[in-house]
Amino acid sequence: MPTKQSANLDAVSKAIIEQLQHDGRKSYASIATEVGLSEAAVRQRVQRLLDAGVMQIVAVTDPLQVGFLRSAMIGLRVSGDMTEVADALTTMEEVDYVVTTAGSFDILAEVVCEDDDHLLELLTKRIRALPNVVATETFVYLKLNKQLYNWGTR
Amino acid sequence: MPTKQSANLDAVSKAIIEQLQHDGRKSYASIATEVGLSEAAVRQRVQRLLDAGVMQIVAVTDPLQVGFLRSAMIGLRVSGDMTEVADALTTMEEVDYVVTTAGSFDILAEVVCEDDDHLLELLTKRIRALPNVVATETFVYLKLNKQLYNWGTR
DNA sequence: AGTGAAACGACCGTAGA
DNA sequence: TCTACGGTCGTTTCACT
């Protein structure tokens, strides 16, 4: 079950995570030789990290290469409780990222669409149609300069 | 070598990707039985998808669980060429996400920091100190509502 | 939490269609 | 680009520390 607190990771676990951030399918045996543990010990630690929700090992795809040519960040201003709007956004499949923020936007949502028509339909018919959405501002992506999945073992 | 064009993925490749989006370490053999191909064929297709940059299989970590308690999105307005600022941001290790956008911000950058002091130092001493940065607006994250790595096989 | 060893299953290279 | 197959290596389980 995922813990909410920050786990105390020792140097060995950090080293294991770092290996897997480069190659999620790297064998436990070869990680073991690099970090100086037995293969079984590495496997147990990886299992614990996965169970605790500290990391997950997954395939991540490049949207441009799988037919999603138009991405954007949408900033929303909301009246009243923003959790309902945030919840509604999380259920939309084009929306891959939702954060509740402090600042001139209450919510930031990243959307991945096939083309401009798709984005327009999503924005006008579904996002701006949500109750309590007062205003939106759309930042169409021109270029993705950096995308790191490797948080947290620097 | 990563191609820049969007690849044409058939139903089988999409099915393989979908399996790996749930478990990046799932064995080729068990994927093979699910999609109805031989183990070697699955292995070859996965290798091609990785080589083409269509997907990568990596460990992704939860910043809160590895000691990064303060995240934020920073919108930047830039004078002149924005590529230099974007490039400078990509070299900063706290910056995990940089996009060049159209709208009232020229660049959006997501940063992952240990605490507020760290964020303040990064923002004032390093980001706002960059040449041609005219203005910034910081959206401190209160709650991460949704984070999907599974782009593109819907 | 970690080690070691033995049985099992997955992975890899190669050949052939 | 797929299947078939044999050798090798990785993984799993378990008893022990």
Same domain, A90 and A134: yes
Same domain, B76 and B18: no
Please tell me which residue lies nearest to nucleotide D9, judged from CA to C1': A29
Looking at strand D, which nucleotides approach a protein CB closer than 7 A? 1-5, 9-14
Q: The domain spanning residue A69 has which CATH number?
A: 3.30.70.920
Same domain, A47 and A67: no
Q: Please state the domain count of chain B.
A: 2
Tokens matching residue A104: 């001139």
**What kind and span of H or E run contains B44?**
helix B39-51
Same domain, B72 and B116: yes
**Average predicted confidence (pLDDT) for chain B:** 92
Give the mean model confidence (pLDDT) for residues A114-143.
Answer: 98
Q: Is residue B31 part of a domain?
A: yes
* Smallest Cα distance from A43 to chain B, Å: 12
Measured between CB atoms, does B92 come within 8 Å of chain A? no
Same domain, B131 and B85: yes
- pLDDT confidence band for B154 (50 / 70 / 90): very low
Measured between CB atoms, does A141 come within 8 Å of chain B? yes
| Cβ proximity of A16 and A31 under 8 Å | yes
Q: Which of A25, A138, A151 sits opposite B24 (nearest CB)?
A: A25
Residue-by-residue DSSP string for B6-41: PP---HHHHHHHHHHHH-TT--HHHHHHHHTS-HHH
B31-76 pLDDT per residue, tens: 999 999 999 999 999 999 999 999 999 999 999 999 999 999 999 9
pLDDT at A7: 62
Same domain, A70 and A132: yes
- pLDDT confidence band for B149 (50 / 70 / 90): confident
A52-94 pLDDT per residue, tens: 999 999 999 999 999 999 999 999 999 999 999 999 999 999 9
Q: Is residue B99 part of a domain?
A: yes
Give the mean model confidence (pLDDT) for residues B4-26.
Answer: 88
Provide the residue range defining the domain that includes B47: 11-51
Handedness of CA B154, A142, B87, B126 (dihedral sign): negative
CA(A44)–C1'(C1) in Å?
Answer: 9
Q: Do A96 and B146 touch (CB under 8 A)?
A: yes
Q: Judge whether residue B126 has pLDDT over 80.
A: yes
Q: Is residue B4 part of a domain?
A: no
CA(B38)–C1'(D5) in Å?
Answer: 12
- pLDDT confidence band for B2 (50 / 70 / 90): very low
Share of chain A above pLDDT 90, in %: 88
Same domain, A68 and A121: yes
Same domain, B75 and B135: yes
pLDDT at A53: 92
Tokens matching residue A110: 């990243």
Same domain, A77 and A34: no
pTM of this structure: 0.90
Measured between CB atoms, does B112 come within 8 Å of chain A? yes
Q: Is residue B149 part of a domain?
A: no
Same domain, B27 and B76: no
Q: Is residue A6 part of a domain?
A: no
Q: The domain spanning residue A21 has which CATH number?
A: 1.10.10.10
CA(A35)–C1'(C16) in Å?
Answer: 42
Same domain, B133 and B107: yes
Same domain, B43 and B87: no
Please list, in sequence order, all residues whose beta carbon lies within 8 angstroms of the beta carbon of residue B83, skipping any fewer than 6 positions away: B100
Q: Is residue B145 part of a domain?
A: no
